[in-house]
């Protein structure tokens, strides 16, 4: 893997609300929306309200980090990021009627292609490249034909390398049989699916104390991803579409931690025991995990569970032998993990040169026990070059 040895930094988890999307949110009076209010100091500020019953009147739109490409490039420059694979942030088109979602998906995909393809090089001579994940009109009532048309559009746009999706699918989750043609088309087009949360879990779980956004973001988001990908695995999508490439936000949430428990529950359940072609742990080795976990130990653990996956191929003695033990597993797992920042979310609260959230994720990669420079470089950028086929782009 030649690409893995290059010391490149590629950010696979970085968002934008494109200007057309922000205008659309400004025109709305219900969530999700962007609204203006006057601060106690008499200033006008814009707030982003995207989650139902969001605390503290949403989040400040603050600077132009949310939509301005120049800000994205400055952020990349500040943190030494060479390439960003930019995705629209949640809640995408989930809340729209099918016809509106279809038109907006098409327009926003063209906007994102332009955002990426017309990106200027920075003055210091470093080549900052932008690529993107497109949007699908994944809403209830969307027809297969409309979804396939947008998949075709995305695969014709040279800078769009995948699609970002939430957990709801067509309203019934990602194990919905109606999504079968969508998985088949995405697999055939070799697009990467970035699975990202938005809804969290039932807010009643968060109690009555004001904990700001901490519980929904730290726990709700990753639990939502865990449930969504587990349902997809249980429905056999990864058996039917072995070449489908799915990147999980926030290092796959709790899936790595719960994967042996999941396997055991499957084994003991007559409804699903014989449904899957492999032990549940095998499927972790078919997935990709961003490295947005903020800690070396967590990254090491994800790497271990991903790297052992081949042991769990059913009736696959030779594969089991190749998985190896301990340190080898951890190295193997690193090949499916990719650096990300979650920009423009989690900005520093005070004045700071670099964003703590980014520095922590970079230091986490440096500190994983058993990862040598080859693994670190792969996670920083080499894996992304390979996954998104970026070596082939001039
Ligand atoms: N908050 C969000 O709403 N989305 C993200 O991606 C990160 C934080
Ligand atoms: Zn994100």
Least confident stretch, 216-225, 237-246, 313-322, 342-351? 313-322
C-beta of 90 in contact with ligand 1 (< 6 A): yes
Claim to verify: residue 49 and residue 74 sit in the same structural domain = no
Q: Kindly tell me if the per-residue pLDDT of 56 is higher than 90.
A: no
Taking the chain, what is the end-to-end CA distance rounded to the nearest angstrom?
A: 19
Claim to verify: residue 42 and residue 150 sit in the same structural domain = no
CA of 107 to the centre of ligand 2 (A): 22
Least confident stretch, 40-44, 59-63, 136-140, 192-196? 59-63
Listed in sequence order, the residues at least 6 apart from 176 whose beta carbon sits closer than 8 Å to its beta carbon are 169, 170
Claim to verify: residue 61 and residue 101 sit in the same structural domain = no
CA-to-CA distance for 99 and 141, rounded, in angstroms? 9
Ligand nearest to the CA of 164: 2
Mean pLDDT of 382-392: 91
Q: pLDDT band for position 394 (50/70/90)? A: very low
| This model's pTM is above 0.80 | yes
268 within some domain: yes
Q: Kindly tell me if the per-residue pLDDT of 317 is higher than 50.
A: no
In the predicted model, what is the mean pLDDT of the chain?
Answer: 92
2 within some domain: no
Q: Which domain holds residue 29?
A: 19-66
Least confident stretch, 11-20, 324-333, 359-368, 370-379? 324-333
Instruction: State the complex-level ipTM.
Output: 0.95
CA of 198 to the centre of ligand 2 (A): 9
Comparing 123 with 259, the larger pLDDT belongs to 259
C-beta of 290 in contact with ligand 1 (< 6 A): no
Mean pLDDT of 19-38: 94
* Cβ-contact 334, 365 below 8 angstroms: no
Query: What pLDDT, on a 0 to 100 scale, did the predictor assign at position 63?
Result: 67
Claim to verify: residue 89 and residue 159 sit in the same structural domain = yes
CA of 161 to the centre of ligand 1 (A): 21
In this prediction, what percent of the chain has a pLDDT beyond 70?
Answer: 92
Query: What pLDDT, on a 0 to 100 scale, did the predictor assign at position 331?
Result: 94
* Cβ-contact 93, 106 below 8 angstroms: no
Least confident stretch, 156-165, 226-235, 324-333? 324-333
In this prediction, what percent of the chain has a pLDDT beyond 90?
Answer: 81
CA of 224 to the centre of ligand 1 (A): 13
Question: 69: which 2 tokens?
Answer: 């490409």
In 39-171, the DSSP E strands lie at 44-49, 59-60, 83-88, 129-135, 160-165
Claim to verify: residue 44 and residue 175 sit in the same structural domain = no
Claim to verify: residue 264 and residue 364 sit in the same structural domain = yes
Mean pLDDT of 350-372: 95
- Domain total of the chain: 2
Query: What pLDDT, on a 0 to 100 scale, did the predictor assign at position 243?
Result: 98
* Cβ-contact 207, 219 below 8 angstroms: no
Most confident of 62-76, 344-358, 371-385: 371-385
User: Could you report the per-residue pLDDT of 111-147, keeping only the tens digit for each?
Assistant: 999 999 998 865 555 668 999 999 999 999 999 999 9
Residue having the nearest C-alpha atom to atom 1 of ligand 1 = 345
Claim to verify: residue 218 and residue 356 sit in the same structural domain = yes
C-beta of 35 in contact with ligand 1 (< 6 A): no
Residue having the nearest C-alpha atom to atom 7 of ligand 1 = 345
C-beta of 345 in contact with ligand 1 (< 6 A): yes
């Amino acid at each position: 893997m030649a690409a893995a040895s290059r010391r490149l930094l590629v950010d696979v988890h970085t968002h934008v609300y494109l200007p057309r999307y922000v205008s659309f949110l400004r025109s709305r009076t219900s969530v999700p929306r962007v609204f203006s209010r006057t601060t106690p100091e008499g200033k006008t500020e814009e707030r982003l309200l995207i989650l139902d019953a969001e605390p503290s009147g949403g989040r400040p739109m603050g600077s132009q980090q949310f939509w301005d490409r120049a800000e994205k490039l400055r952020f990349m420059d500040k943190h030494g990021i060479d390439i960003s694979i930019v995705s629209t942030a949640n809640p995408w088109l989930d809340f729209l009627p099918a016809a509106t979602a279809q038109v907006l998906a098409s327009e926003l995909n063209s906007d994102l292609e332009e955002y990426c393809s017309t990106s200027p090089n920075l003055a210091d001579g470093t080549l900052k490249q932008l690529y993107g994940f497109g949007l699908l009109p994944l809403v209830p009532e969307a027809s297969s034909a409309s979804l396939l048309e947008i998949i075709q559009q995305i695969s014709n746009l040279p800078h769009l390398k995948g699609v970002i999706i939430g957990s709801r699918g067509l309203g019934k989750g990602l194990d919905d049989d109606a999504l079968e043609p969508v998985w088949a088309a995405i697999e055939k087009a070799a697009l990467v699916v970035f699975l990202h949360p938005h809804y969290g879990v039932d807010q009643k779980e968060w109690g009555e104390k004001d904990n700001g956004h901490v519980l929904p973001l730290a726990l709700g988001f990753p639990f939502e991803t865990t449930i969504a990908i587990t349902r997809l695995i249980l429905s056999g999508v990864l058996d039917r579409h072995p070449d489908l490439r799915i990147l999980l936000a926030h290092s796959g949430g709790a899936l790595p931690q719960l994967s042996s428990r999941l396997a055991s529950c499957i084994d003991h359940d007559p409804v699903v025991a014989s449904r899957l072609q492999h032990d549940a742990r095998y499927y972790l080795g078919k997935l990709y995990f961003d490295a947005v976990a903020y800690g070396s130990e967590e990254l090491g653990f994800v790497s271990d569970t991903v790297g052992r996956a081949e042991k769990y191929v059913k009736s696959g003695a030779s594969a089991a032998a190749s998985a190896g033990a301990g340190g080898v597993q951890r190295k193997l797992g690193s090949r499916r993990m990719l650096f990300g920042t979650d920009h423009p979310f989690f900005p520093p609260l005070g004045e700071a040169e670099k964003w703590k959230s980014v520095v922590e994720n970079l230091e986490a990669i440096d500190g994983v026990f058993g990862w040598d420079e080859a693994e670190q470089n792969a996670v920083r950028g080499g894996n992304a070059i390979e996954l998104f086929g970026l070596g082939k782009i001039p």
